[in-house]
Chain A
Amino acid sequence: MLANQTIMQHQVRPEACEPVLEVEHLTVGVPGVGAIINDLNLTIRRGEVVALVGESGSGKSMTARSLMRLMPSGISILEGSVRVGGEEVLSLSEDSFNEIRGSRIAMLFQQPHVMLDPTCTVGAQAGEALHVHQHLSAAEEHERVVQLFRDVGIPEPEERMKNYPHQMSGGMAQRVMIAAALSGEPDLLIADEPTTALDVTVQAQILQLLDRKRRENNLSILLITHDLSVVSAIADRVAVMYSGEIVEQGTTDEILHSPKHPYTQSLIHCALLESDESGQLYAIPGNPPELLSKMPGCRFRSRCQVAEKWGHPEICSRVAPPMVEHDGPACCARCWVGASDDMQAQAIKICQSATEETS
């Protein structure tokens, strides 16, 4: 469906590569109140770029923060498991997890400027992870940061190291953040909208840089974005988030060209700036539900245009749809429409018994 705007050639990676990150049944929320992220399952293999897409407020950034265990205060991980290189990390103490942050998982953020300390030179900040994790001497650290700056395309690295964040452009500041993130040679980079705040030309440069690093270092990237052109350019696989749940997963090709979930389909209509019958630009009607709210059935039901045309809309509003596998767990959608007849029949039974109870 989406024109393939590939700016780089995808490399087809063997499925056999070992997983770097395995997330199972991750539920994050306010204890005693409710969940913001619900039952999230995601696996990222070595050298793979997985895009996490969705509207603002769908829980993408919260997912990223949760994987780094950097949630805002009041929010905690309620259940689930996160394994990094096979090792369970949710049970680790804060001190032990600090050894993983910046060395095995690193993070990039949306607005590089506010993510840098204004009172500290960029060189010092880029060298911090080296200092903490590798205990380098000041001279070695300086040498490494110069190399890193050169590697991420910062001209005159020796001079630039002495700069303060406000003396740099957004693109340069994001390069500093990339240098800082990659200094610990992490296996996984979580990039939370790394190019959203940047010019289109700079955006392409930064994406190219990330793509090159994943080839050179076999780096895995969890790329959080709402921009489907970015997805088509760099991602191997896509996970679509809606209202705190992953509603569909698959390869970039499958998701962009034959999406299963009605929400993904709508998202792609929006991205293509398609018009409806009356010539108006297409927009998904309504708003996403409050993240903490509990509701029976499918969270997308009130905005779904497929449910109306489908034979059993009452199931959608009564019973939460299961994750339906279309091609193994890596290609699945959380929608009743694609479910097998058996599953649908079961759901109809549940609906009927519920109606009898109330009447």
Chain B
Amino acid sequence: MWIFILRRLAVLALALLVVSFLVFLIPYLGDTDPVRALARARFGRLDLDAAAIETLRIELGMHRPLLVQYLDWLGNAVTGDFGNSYMSREPVMEQVWSALKVSIVLTLAALGFAFAVAVPCGSIAALRQGSAFDSIVKSLNQAFVAVPEYWLAPMSILVFALYLGWLPSAGWRGPESVILPALALSLRPMGYFTQVMRASMIDVLNSPHIVAAHSRGLSVRRTLIAHGLRNALLPVITLFSVWMAGLLGGAVVIEVIFAVPGMGRLVYSAIVNGDLPVLQAGLVAIVTFAVLINTLTDLAYTVLNPVVRIDNAAA
């Protein structure tokens, strides 16, 4: 087990190294000179003369060879220092860290809710294939998957915040402000989770060991709980981790509409403003989390699936 975890951590380190180099290169890939980008962000002007730009370049150390700059940047990044924001001039790491916390809360709330609804609904739909319940679940799924967030978000604000006045319309103050954005964010994954749960439960219910369990006198419900759920959950767990990694930095629309200070909005505004240090740190944080979540998923898999567990112990 420990060897398995160590091996995963080594993969994590390697992935981060590769990503860090790519992220470091971002400012040099575009057609704008990073020094000019900084000058624009800081002074709001593009018409600085060449001499001033060169002074700024030497001040930032950007005249050195690329590899030296990378190692320098990497050395700082490892200690959590990604420099200061071009816009606010505050340390980047603090901004990223607070945005990351917001995003984790929002994503977990949304996906946790989606999961909690999808598992029972998918299971019951699988158990009662072709019933009215199954058809209702199926059409709701299709609706949830198809509804775009940029429509759903304003509509939910209109109904729950402005018309009914139950929840705050935007911002990030207290638990009640999590509900609307999390709900709006949860519908699409909920649709996918339910579909996968239903399909995988149908698969499991058709497998021979379910018949064998019935033959021992177990009721349908007991068989489902004892021998169906665990097997059927495996693909949903995988999907969960994919969504988790995706939503951490990818909930841009929801975060912008609800004014949630999360990673999506942070990275989005960094791009718009050309705030390169924030962009770099944000991307590194998102990738780190995605790989971490993948590792956690693999661990969850080994707990749920003994076939994988024993193989890993042997490795």
Residues of A near any B CB (own CB < 8 A): 65, 68, 70, 94-95, 98-103, 106-107, 109, 111, 114-120, 125, 128-129, 132-133, 164, 166-167, 177, 180-181, 184
Contact = CB atoms under 8 A, between A and B. Distances in A.
B217 A119 contact: no
B208 A109 contact: yes
21 contacts: A68-B214, A94-B219, A99-B217, A101-B217, A106-B216, A114-B207, A114-B209, A116-B209, A116-B212, A117-B209, A117-B213, A117-B227, A119-B227, A119-B231, A119-B304, A119-B305, A128-B218, A128-B226, A132-B218, A164-B307, A184-B216
A56 to B, nearest CB: 17
* B interface, size bucket: 20 to 34
Nearest to A124: B226
Contacts of A95: 219
Given A118-B307, A119-B305, A119-B306, A102 B209 contact: no
B310 interface: yes
B310 A164 contact: yes
B32 interface: no
B222 interface: yes
A129 B219 CA distance: 11
Given A118-B307, A119-B231, A164-B307, A98 B219 contact: yes
Interface string B192-230: 000000000000000111011111111110100011001
Contacts of B305: 118-119
B214 A120 contact: no
Interface of B: 207-209, 211-220, 222, 226-227, 230-231, 304-307, 310
A133 to B, nearest CB: 6
B209 A129 contact: no
Contacts of A132: 216-218, 222
Contacts of A128: 213, 216, 218, 226
Nearest to B305: A119
Closest 5 CB pairs of A and B: A102-B217, A102-B216, A115-B212, A101-B217, A107-B215
Contact of A109 (B212, B217, B306, B307): B212
B153 to A, nearest CB: 39
Nearest to A73: B129
B197 to A, nearest CB: 16
A132 B220 CA distance: 13
B91 to A, nearest CB: 47
Contacts of A180: 216
Nearest to A105: B215
Nearest to A109: B212
Give the interface centre of B211, B215, B218, B222 by most chain A CB atoms within 10 Å.
Answer: B215
Contacts of A167: 310
A118 B231 contact: yes
A181 B310 CA distance: 27
Nearest to A132: B217
A70 B214 contact: yes
A132 B215 CA distance: 12
Contact of A101 (B214, B307, B310): B214
Nearest to A97: B217
Contacts of A94: 219-220
Contacts of B226: 117, 120, 128
Nearest to B304: A119
Contacts of A109: 208, 211-212
A133 B217 contact: yes
A120 B219 CA distance: 17
Contacts of B222: 132
Given A94-B220, A100-B217, A166-B310, 11 more contacts: A65-B211, A68-B214, A95-B219, A103-B217, A106-B215, A109-B211, A114-B208, A120-B227, A120-B230, A164-B307, A167-B310
A68 B217 contact: no
Contacts of A129: 216-217
A164 B306 contact: yes
Contacts of A98: 217-219
Nearest to A127: B216
A301 B272 CA distance: 83
Nearest to B222: A132
B298 to A, nearest CB: 16
Contacts of B215: 68, 70, 101-102, 106-107, 181
Give the interface centre of A98, A111, A119 by most chain B CB atoms within 10 Å.
Answer: A119
Give the interface centre of B212, B213, B226 by most chain A CB atoms within 10 Å.
Answer: B212
Contacts of B216: 101-102, 106, 128-129, 132, 180-181, 184
Contacts of B212: 107, 109, 115-116, 177
Nearest to B217: A102
B208 A184 contact: no
Contacts of A111: 208
A177 B216 CA distance: 10
A327 B257 CA distance: 87
A325 to B, nearest CB: 34
A87 to B, nearest CB: 16
Contacts of A119: 227, 230-231, 304-306
B1 to A, nearest CB: 16
Nearest to A98: B217
A167 B310 CA distance: 9
